[in-house]
Amino acid sequence: MRISEHPILGIPEQKEEVEFTYDGNVMKGLEGEPVAAALKAAGVTIHRYTSRHHSPRGIFCAIGRCTDCVMVVDGMPNVRTCVTPLAAGMDVRTQYGVSVKAEIVYEIEEKGR
């Protein structure tokens, strides 16, 4: 749920509402917020399934360190959704293992998790 007014922080900065897709379904989020925040606000908690045990993962650190939140964004796998700003028209998909070979340097660590 979004916090519409906070006793200390007041009313959140107004951001443009944009549409994106999550596993093909159209959803709404705020432009520039992390993709993970838009998903959480929309009630989505599972971001990926691990390759070995097919167990679900969601937001864990929210600062781009743990790689639990990676998804396939606009066709690119292993995107850390907690630090990736949402843009209109983004195609966000649940990641199963490492679906396409990663082109960026971040490696998905299983960390025994």
Partner 1 sequence: MIRYDLIVIGAGPAGLSAAIEAARSGLQVIVFDENAKPGGQLFKQIHKFFGSKEHKAKIRGFQIGSELLEEAAQAGVEVVLNASVIGLYLDKEITVRIENRLLHYKGDTVIVATGASETMVTFDGWTLPGVIGAGAAQTMMNLHSVQPGKRILMLGSGNVGLVVSFQLLQAGCEVAAIVDAAPRIGGYGVHAAKVARCGVPFFLSHTILRAEGDDWVTGVTIGQVDGNWNTIEGTEKHFDVDAICLAVGLSPMSQLLQMAGCEMEEHPKFGGIVPICDPYGETSIPGLFAAGDVSGIEEASSAMIEGRIAGAAAALRLGYFSENEFALRVAELERALSSLRQGMFAPENKGKKLSVTEEGCPVSEHLLGTGFLTEDEIFRYPGVKKIKGIHPVIECSQNIPCNPCQDACSRKCIKVGERITSLPVVDEEAVCSGCGMCVAACSGQCIFLVDEEFEEDYAAVVIPYEFLPLPRAGEKGIALDRSGKELCHAEVVAVKSLTAFDKTSLLTIKVSKEMSMRARFYKKGVRVG
Contact positions toward partner 1, by CB under 8 A?
1-3, 5-9, 12, 33-34, 37, 40-41, 45-47, 55-65, 82-83, 104-105, 113
Choose between 18 and 84: whose C-beta lies nearer to ligand FES.
Answer: 84
Select the binding partner of residue 88 from ligand FES, partner 1, none (C-beta < 5 to 8 A, by kind): none
37 backbone dihedrals φ, ψ, rounded to 5°? -70, -40
Triad 110, 35, 54: Cα angle to 5°: 30
Task: Tell me: does residue 72 bind ligand FES (CB under 6 A).
Answer: no
Alpha carbon distance 91, 54 (integer Å):
22
Indicate which single residue of 2, 15, 65, 113 sits in contact with ligand FES (rule: CB under 6 A): 65
Choose between 33 and 68: whose C-beta lies nearer to ligand FES.
Answer: 68
Residue 53: CB minimum distance to partner 1, A: 9
b/e 58-78 (16+ beta carbons within 10 angstroms → b):
bbeebeeebbbbbbbbeeebb
Task: Tell me: does residue 82 bind ligand FES (CB under 6 A).
Answer: yes
Place of tokens 């509402």: 17
